[in-house]
Chain A
Amino acid sequence: MDHDQASVIQLLMDDRIQAWVKQPTPELDRYWKERLREHPDEQPAVERARRVLKRLSFEKSEHIDREGMLQRALAQAEGASRPASPRIWSNWYRVAAVLVGALLVAAAYWYTLPATQTHTTTYGESEHVVLPDGSTVVLNANSTLRYPKVWDQQHPRTVSLTGEAFFSVTHQANGQKFIVQTDQVTIEVLGTEFNVNHRRGETEVVLQTGSIRLDRASDDAQSQVDNLVVVPGELVRLSKTQGAPERRVVNPQVYSAWTQDRWLFENTPLSEIFTMIEDNYGYQIVAKQADIADEVFTAELENANLDLLLNFLSESFGLQITKDHRQLIVNRKATRR
């Protein structure tokens, strides 16, 4: 009895069990199988025990003054005698000077520094941003998000976006609105989840949950978008050429999968996939045969990775995809499988 219980405790404490459950590898698999062979009856007990222990919790405060602590921390740091800011500035300029065109970005950033927070992503990069009200934004590649550093309760919460982002907006008790501004349209929400894709002079909004209202941006006199209420599962597309928006029902997961580093394609034409690659990775795609772009693709990829995607596309459709500087040249292979 004593030996058995000691061994159960040992098994319970084994780091490798935790690792095995989280991230199985062949080595851990073998190790765990060995241990189980020594104590065949114990796995269920250990599993249940671990699950009970994982439910152990404790009294926690609900109310944490996050903003207050952050502001006081920064105030305390700035008040210190060490001149931290100039060092950050000079390092930023050094980094920015290396990137093409980034000098302009840096200048804009520092000009707006006192009041505005800016997040910019480059090709192939995405970023998670937490806003002062707890809302989260996943910013896709080649995109910029801007918002004032200080938010109060009286005015609507406002952010401005170029590119693509997925918003998860917190609901405020006082009904304070949340506004996303692009130079084409203004999106007003109360608390909800939606994807905004504003590229190539077009804006595409897909609503996942909640409800949003679209209005034309103040400087777009030709737009016919006025007080347009969108419902979950709906996609609204505004193009630069047509004033009237296009609306249809879609599976919102397809449009927000990228936020989890996943790609979800459902009968998606390759033309759309190529556009996505161009927008997010900065390549120019040249399809040698016109009918390539009409092929449809259905797949679910986790751990999104461009080379992997190109691999699967070439395997699935018998294509040869070659990189030539910033171009991707797509050719049908001579013999199909």
Chain B
Amino acid sequence: MTRAKSRPVLFWKCCMNSKATFSFFAPPDATVEADDLRHWNKFRRGDAASFTIIYYHHIDALYHYGERLTADKALIEDCLQDLFAELWTRQMDLPEVQTVKFYLFKALKRKINRGRDQQAKFLSEAAAEHDFALTLASETEGDDWQLSPGQAAALLKAVNQLSPRQKEAITLRFYDNFSYNEIAEIMALSDRSVYNLMYRALAVLRQTVDVGTCQQVLLVLLLVQ
């Protein structure tokens, strides 16, 4: 999957005297990803220090993703240790990647699933889908769209009634900013399935509108769809 690269925008004001003033902008996201990739490739070529950088850059996001997949903290820690132990050992055998975060998320999910399946076998129970509660982050960046407590509660109620897989897809999309085919690979589904999951999730939210009574709730859910 290729990401569109933007042409930088250049402003230059001509000045009559020897002083010159101008600005030159580039997209910030691309820099973070490029940085990540640089360290990944440095590590693959033998730079041990880049390993630590990659670790600290991603450990929080990975751990929080683990929490969405299982309530078992020990399992999350074990899988993360396993994951990074493997990275360290494989070092020069590691593949080239497009996005480091995507590679790590995929690997973690596979490990946690295997761990949960093994536990289930041991307990001779089916591995239950782990559910997690969605909340709303506090308002940032001067949002002109302020939710009242009532609206927020109604929104969260609707969103938390989604299935665990729908929640996972939504969170991977809007919280972790993965693309549809990245989500598909992480969740081991086809692109089409992910698309349908998302569509159904957003449609369910729209449907809740018919059940709601308060006009403000209606407004919120209409806009959320």
Contacts and interface: CB of A to CB of B under 8 A. Distances in A.
Interface of A: 5, 8-9, 12-13, 15, 18-19, 22-25, 27-28, 45, 48-61, 64-66, 69-70, 72-74, 76-77, 80, 82, 84, 87-88, 91-92, 95, 117-119, 128-130, 134, 261, 267, 295-303, 308, 312, 315-317
B65 to A, nearest CB: 10
B182 to A, nearest CB: 10
Interface residues of B, number: 80
Contacts of A55: 136-137, 139-140
A58 B68 contact: yes
Contacts of A9: 199, 202-203, 206, 225
B48 A88 contact: yes
Nearest to B202: A9
A146 to B, nearest CB: 11
Contact of B57 (A50, A118, A130): A130
A261 B22 CA distance: 16
B8 A303 contact: yes
Which 9 residue pairs spanning A and B have beta carbons closest together? A316-B20, A73-B84, A130-B56, A303-B26, A76-B85, A77-B85, A91-B46, A23-B6, A57-B137
A129 B51 CA distance: 11
| Residue of B49, B82, B222 contacting most chain A CB atoms (<10 Å) | B49
Interface in B140-187: 140, 143, 145, 147, 155, 159, 170-171, 174-175, 177, 179-180
Contacts of A54: 174-175
7 contacts: A48-B145, A52-B224, A57-B136, A70-B84, A130-B53, A295-B18, A312-B22
Contact of B59 (A69, A300, A316): A69
A76 B81 contact: yes
A51 B220 CA distance: 12
Given A73-B88, A299-B20, A316-B20, A56 B170 contact: yes
Nearest to A308: B24
A52 B20 contact: no
Interface string B188-222: 00000001001100110010000000000000101
A23 B171 contact: no
A295 B48 CA distance: 44
A58 B132 contact: yes
B107 interface: no
